[in-house]
Amino acid sequence: MVWPFSQSDLFRWLHAALVTLIVLFIAVPVAVTAVMSFNDASLIRFPIRAWSLRWYLDFFSSSQWTQALRNSLEIAAYTTLVSTVFGTIAAYAFTRLRFPLKGAFYFLVMLPLFMPGIVLGLGIAIAFGGVELFGLQLYGGKALVVVAHCLWAMPLTFMVMEATFKTFDERLVEAAYDLGGGPVRTFFEVTLPMVSTGVISGALFSFVISLNEFVMALFLTTRDTQTLPVLMWLSLRSAGTPRLAVAAVVLAAAVFLSLVLVMLWYARHVRKLR
C-alpha cells in the first residue's frame, strides 16, 4: 500500500500537533483567567454578564494587595541576585577545580531542588523561628524568604551555568592570562561576557521560581511580608472574587514581561555577535 504522504511529513504533522496542544494547554487557562478579571460580578462565575475594570481598580487601590505585589517583586529580585551570583560561582568552581568530596558537594547543592516545599518551609520555620540577627527577628522577614527561595532557585542557576561553562572554550582564558590578565579581571572581562546568555537564563529561572513560589512563603511570611501568591490563597479561602483573577493576570504579566526583556536582550546579543 502506498501512503499519500512521506514519513517525514507524518512526523512534521505530529510535531505541529503536539506543539499546538502544549501551547493551548498553557494559553487557555491564562486566557480564561484574563477574561474573568474583567467580570463585574462579585464572584467568579461564567458566563460573564457584565464587563468592567472594577476589580483592576480595586486591586491597585488596595494597600494590602499592592504591598503583597511589592513584596513578591522585591523578594524575587533579591533571590535572583543571590542565586545568580552564587550559582554562577559554584558552577565555575565545579567545572574548573578539583577538590575532595566533589561528588558529595554536588549532591548537597542539588538536593533542595528535589525536596517538597512544605518540608523546606517547615524546616526553615522551625530552625530560624527564634533566631535574631543584629537585634532583628529573622522569622517573618523578607530575608528569610529569600534564603528559602534560593534553595530552589540556586540549583537551577547552577545547572544552567554548569552546562554553559562546560561548553566554554578554555583557550580564551589561557590567552587572556598570557596577555597579562589576572584571574579576577579575566573572569569579568572575558569569561563572564562569553557566558552571559547562561547567566541571564539562570536569572530568569530564579526570578520566575521566586515570584510564583507559594508553599515556603506561606510558612515564613507575616501579614506585612506576605507575597502575592500567599495573599491569593488566603483570599480564595474566604471569597473567590475576580480580584484573584486580576492578581493572577498581574503575576503572569510580570513573568511575560521578564521573558520579553530577556528575548530582546538575546536578540540584541546575537546581532552584536554577527
In contact, 195 and 161? CB cutoff 8 Å: yes
pLDDT digits (tens, 9 = 90+) for 107-161: 888 899 888 888 998 888 888 877 777 667 778 788 899 999 999 999 999 999 8
In degrees and rounded to multiples of 5, residue 138 shows phi and psi of -70, -40
**Domains with residue ranges and CATH for the chain:** 63-273 (1.10.3720.10)
Q: Of the candidates 178, 124, 125, 189, which has an alpha carbon nearest to the alpha carbon of residue 151?
A: 124
* pLDDT above 50 for 86: yes
pLDDT digits (tens, 9 = 90+) for 102-116: 888 888 888 998 888
Q: What is the pLDDT of residue 65?
A: 92
In degrees and rounded to multiples of 5, residue 11 shows phi and psi of -65, -35
57: amino acid identity, one letter: L
Helix, coil or strand: residue 131: coil
Q: What is the pTM of this model?
A: 0.85
